[in-house]
Chains A and B, each alone.
Chain A
Amino acid sequence: MAAAAKTEGRDAGGLARKLLSYAVLLLLTLIFVAPLLWMVSTSFKPNPETTALPLSWIPKTFSTEGYSTILNSSSQSPALLWFLNSMIAGLANTALILVTASMAAYALARMEFRGKRFLFAAIISTLFIPPIILLTPNYQIVDQFGWLDTLLAVIVPGAAGAFGVFFLRQFFLSLPKELEEAAMLDGANRYQIFFRIILPLSKAPLATLATLSFLTNWNDFLWPVYVLFTPGNLTLPPGLAILQGAYTTNYAVIMAGGVLASIPVLIVFIIAQRYIIQGVARSGLKG
């Protein structure tokens, strides 16, 4: 009871602190959201208005010129093709990661075989290799395969990273072994156990890995800038760099491209927010 009275006495201070917190929170929200709103607003202005003073947050003349310029697929900046390419690359890369990483992670978590420890250590140690040392050699490897300037270059090499294996192995280790033992007594083999028991139990970590993989691939910049060159073969990030170079101060066009590249990831973020945030938070605690 004494404790309750004490809390009440503090309420005035608590309220002031709460109001201050809200003020800070709203200010921060403004800082994070305003540039994104500016991008959207600019994309709907006729170009002369994007460089005219005074600036206006709401288009004085509403225009979709920026969008019609980039969505014209016969132009040097076929953004619709870039969008499709990004979508194909993102989905294919994600599928490849889910299949290969889950299988490898299951073997490393649950099976005994020669060289297992060494193999796991080798895979994990590559998490610490700075990706820059792989840049020039991988360029040549991809060239040898005839993959330069094709989507395969941005789909396959990116699936070799160790994160997915590490992440799923941790989850598989946390599953109770009894389920698998019971299934084994029932005569199920490893493949049946993996597909019928383990994967259905792993929907949440698989969704997390899928979301993170898709975002990473969709946003990848350096590699696609150098391995894709023909305008029609680009993904959106190198495409945006091209837009910036080709339309220098035509900001309506450039911002329309930015909006186009943002919409899918923002939708993914809204739908899968829980998975993304948990995935990021968990990776931090593991470290």
Chain B
Amino acid sequence: MAAQGIEQTGAQPTPPAAGYPSGGKAESTGSFSWTPYVFLAPYLLLFTVFIVVPAIFGLWISLHNWDYLLPEQPWVGLQNYVNLFTPGSPTAGFFWQSMEATGIFTLFSVPFLVIIPLLVALILNQSFRGRNFFRAMYFAPYVLGVAVVGVLWQYILNPGFGLINYYLGALGIGEGAVPWTTALPWAWISLVGMTVWWTLGFNAIIYLAGLQDINQELYEAAKVDGANRWQRFVNITIPGLRPVFLFVITVTILASANMFGQSYLVTDGAPANETRTAIMYIAEEGLENFRMGSAAAMSYILALFLALISILNFRFLNQKEED
């Protein structure tokens, strides 16, 4: 292989066309080549059929009374959207209740999922024996799916013979009969708590990588200047983690706003649909009741909210950087 290489290079002394180091023969002479398209074709086929087409087709569906079980799907214009903003329509009440559920869950889960993993990462960032072991232990629940986590916590949270009430009862708290999955605010505490348990490791790993990226010389210099631990944290660690914060907060908000499995398996939306999230309601409306037009309209409204939050979050954190 190597010998052949030398031979051929010797026989072909002309350097490749200047300014076109990445091109092949056909590309460097400027003629058309099929090669890039051959490489792209398999992925682009999937991309077109399962992302581009459905993204547009969804809008089309949302403009129809698209009942999947009926032979005809009449055009209704913006009616599905108007219904969502008309109090008393069949969908408006349930939809905004589910949006509120998603909002509550996001509002209460995100702060825990932003702050606790940072503390865990700070502890893990010290050098000590068994660091990788602990890191793996904290991350382990995250590799389990929501289905496993859901059925497991549904048992642990059972009011009659779940672990939590059993130990609370032993401590004399709540008479061991807290209705963790059937009444508020307990259902929210359960859903937020199990989600923090499940996904904390993910954010912690990201913080840990961010912490290790901060220039250690900054800490040394600050020590020389007499800065204490807290001052170093506020003046070096926090600013150093800014891009990581942006990522963690955005990803966590989006993940929380897309919550489905926990409510589906643990509370089943109880009590009285209070913990039925937007995703859960959209899936029910579209794929159980087959009213796909209104389900599609709801999904675009939800997507609009999510886009807005991402943009605001990005603006806010970037603005801070400029200050």
- On A, residues with C-beta under 8 Å from B are 18, 21-22, 24-25, 28-29, 31-33, 35-36, 38-39, 42, 50-55, 96, 99-101, 103-104, 106-108, 110-113, 116, 119, 123, 126, 128-141, 156-157, 159-162, 165, 177, 180-182, 184-187, 189-191, 194, 215, 218-222, 225-226, 236-238, 240-241, 243-244, 251, 254-255, 257-258, 261-262, 265-266, 268-269, 273, 276-277, 280-285, 287
Closest partner residue, chain B, to A284 (CB atom): B206
Least Cβ distance of A286 to chain B in Å?
8
Least Cβ distance of A239 to chain B in Å?
8
- The 3 A-B residue pairs whose C-beta atoms are closest, nearest first, are A219-B145, A284-B206, A281-B209
B210: CB under 8 A from chain A? yes
Q: B151 — which chain A residues lie within 8 A by C-beta?
A: 240-241, 243-244, 254-255, 257-258
Q: A285 — which chain B residues lie within 8 A by C-beta?
A: 206, 209-210, 213, 243-244, 247
B148 touches A254 (CB 8 A): no
Q: Which of the segments B54-62, B82-90, B104-112 contacts the partner chain?
A: B54-62
Least Cβ distance of B10 to chain A in Å?
10
Least Cβ distance of B185 to chain A in Å?
21
A160 touches B51 (CB 8 A): yes
A42 touches B40 (CB 8 A): no
A215 touches B143 (CB 8 A): yes
Q: Once bound together, how far apart are the Cα atoms of A116 and B36, in whole Å?
A: 10
Q: Choose one: B40, B51, B260; the contact of A129 (CB below 8 Å).
A: B51
Offer 10 A-B interface pairs, CB within 8 angstroms, sorted by A.
A35-B163, A39-B148, A108-B40, A130-B306, A157-B50, A244-B265, A254-B155, A262-B144, A265-B143, A269-B139
Q: Once bound together, how far apart are the Cα atoms of A166 and B208, in whole Å?
A: 23
- On B, residues with C-beta under 8 Å from A are 4-5, 8-9, 12, 16, 20-25, 27, 33, 35-37, 39-40, 42-44, 46-47, 49-55, 57-58, 61, 68, 120, 123, 126, 128, 134-141, 143-148, 150-156, 160-161, 163, 166, 197, 201-202, 205-206, 208-210, 213, 243-244, 246-248, 250-251, 254, 258, 260-261, 264-265, 279, 282-283, 286-288, 292, 295-296, 299-300, 302-303, 306-307, 310
A219 touches B23 (CB 8 A): no
Q: Once bound together, how far apart are the Cα atoms of A108 and B4, in whole Å?
A: 30
A177 touches B21 (CB 8 A): yes
